[in-house]
Structure 1
Amino acid sequence: MLLIAGLGNPGKQYEKTRHNMGFDVVDELIDRHEIPQAGIAHKALYGKGIIGGEKVIVEKPLTYMNLSGESVREFIDYYKMDPETEMIVIYDDIDLEPGQIRIRKKGSAGGHNGIKNIIAQLGTQNFYRIKVGVGAKPKGWDLADYVLGRFSSKEREVVDAAIQDAADAVEMIIEKGIDAAMNHYNGSGKKKKEE
């Protein structure tokens, strides 16, 4: 079984904001694979289904971004999963241009409060993650205002394509493994940046 956690903030006012990329990718996976909603548990909206022949739980934490790790840890504990091999976290990244995605096996929080909280709750930073680019904040902008803002219609087009790519990447990780997905999405044509 695999946990797929998409990070974001609950509530209408946060829909389609830069900080809700994880929610948007999980919604895409739910639609594609017709994953039934199981309701609310472990501080999240969640569903159970099958992707690529594998049982999955998809979740959107309802804790707000900064406490995402509380919900993730509850799922990991309840289902006795190994976060280092049985979890994929999807979230926004201001260090990537809109439309880019990047896959990692592990890494620091890089200033992302949702990831910071997951690392603190799980006691490891070794977990698979898919980062969806939202672009750097403009000079003089407050970071919170920027990530809670929405994309221009032109940006939205490339971001919608990136949401599709990120959902494809989840499928590839499940079917072919993390290395295959990293080779495919982090390589040619997409700007490569090692951490």
Structure 2
Amino acid sequence: MIKLIVGLSNPGIKYLFTRHNIGSWYIYKLINIYSKYLNKKYIFNSFLGKISYSNNIIYLFIPNIYMNYNYKYIINIMNIYDIKINDLIILHDDLDLFPGKIKIQKNGYHGGHNGIKYLILKFKNNNFNRIRIGIGRPNSKNKILKFVLNNITKNEKFLINTSINNLINYTKIFFKKNDINVLKKINNFKI
């Protein structure tokens, strides 16, 4: 049963609309949609929301720490609320997917994403649910850091927002059933 959904991000307004913060965009949209069900607070100077929906309690979390250290706050939240690794969904940007393409999986390689890489190292396994949101890849490997820390283009924003909105529609069903398989249907969604 999913108890914690985390959108990976870097802190501050400077990074809010960058490719690397796309995981948090989904959480912000959920916050707006489910505000009447949501108890909000800040812990570790990070956003934490608690949704009680159809007799399920699900925490929404956006760590307020740099990407490579997101794992610290995630692990702390999991310990505080006694959340197991199988009860976790992490949302993050993915260079290997076309902008806006969403893939939901369990396990898998970090693909060079440091936020995921350090989570896998600290958990000592990769047995957690991930929602990978495509951002595409720059034409040169040495441009990756600048690419992920830059704002997205207007076209990318349209594609990514379309996909996140579609994911939100599946999330409404997911909240009622708390079944990760509901979300996996988006793997075949074409934008």
TM-score, normalising length: structure 1 = 0.87
1:144, CA displacement in angstroms? 0.9
Matched residue of 1:142: which SS? helix
Structure 1: where are the runs of 5+ without partners? none
1:54, CA displacement in angstroms? 1.8
* Matching of residue 30 in structure 1 with residue 36 in structure 2: no
Q: Does the CA-based 8 Å contact 1:7-1:89 persist in structure 2?
A: yes
* Matching of residue 50 in structure 1 with residue 46 in structure 2: no
- 1:43-192 alignment runs, 5 A limit: 44-84=46-86, 86-139=87-140, 142-174=143-175, 175=177, 177-182=179-184, 184-187=185-188, 190=190
**Counterpart Cα distance in 2 of 1:169 and 1:92:** 19
Deviation string for 1:9-67 (max 9, x for gaps)? 1101101110011111110111111124212x246221112345421111111121011
Give the count of matched residue pairs. Answer: 187
One-letter amino acid matched to 2:34: H
**Counterpart Cα distance in 2 of 1:22 and 1:177:** 20
Q: Which residue of 1 aligns with 2:9?
A: 8
One-letter amino acid matched to 1:142: K
Instruction: Please provide the CA RMSD for this pair.
Output: 2.0
**Counterpart Cα distance in 2 of 1:181 and 1:106:** 16
**Counterpart Cα distance in 1 of 2:73 and 2:168:** 21
Matched residue of 1:125: which SS? coil
**Counterpart Cα distance in 2 of 1:176 and 1:58:** 14
Deviation string for 1:121-142 (max 9, x for gaps)? 2222011110111111133652
- Percent identity over the alignment is 29
Structure 2: where are the runs of 5+ without partners? none
Q: Does the CA-based 8 Å contact 1:49-1:55 persist in structure 2?
A: yes
